[in-house]
Amino acid sequence: MTSREPKPSDEPQRQQPEATKSGTRMGFFAVPVELVGAVLLIGMGVRFITVSNQPDVVGYVLFVVAAVLVIDAIRRLRRITTGKEKY
């Protein structure tokens, strides 16, 4: 048996720190966008519930989506303040 010497090409390449950042990450700027979106969804949900000939289910779905956006905004703020996510 012969021992195989590792070649330089066998070692994993290290990426530059800038290369690991995603261009689609919004960081802190996603928080106000999510909050404005939640306000718009709540307004649309109220509209669907108050108008008699509109389906109420759509309004309730919009409320749920708005709640998900608010929860995600809170999660983002907590991650940013604890330093787990850079902005």
Q: What is the pLDDT of residues 35-87, one digit of tens each?
A: 999 999 999 999 999 998 989 999 999 999 999 999 999 998 888 888 876 65
Q: Which helix (H) or strand (E) holds 46?
A: helix 30-50
> How far apart are alpha carbons 74 and 5 in whole angstroms?
51
CB atoms within 10 A of CB 36: 11
Higher-pLDDT residue of 25, 69: 69
How far apart, in Å, are the Cα atoms of 22 and each of 8, 19, 80?
A: 28, 8, 16
Residue 12 pLDDT more than 80?
no
Query: Of 24, 26, 16, 17, which Cα lies nearest the Cα of 80?
Result: 26
Residue 8 pLDDT more than 70?
no
N- to C-terminal Cα distance for the chain? 53
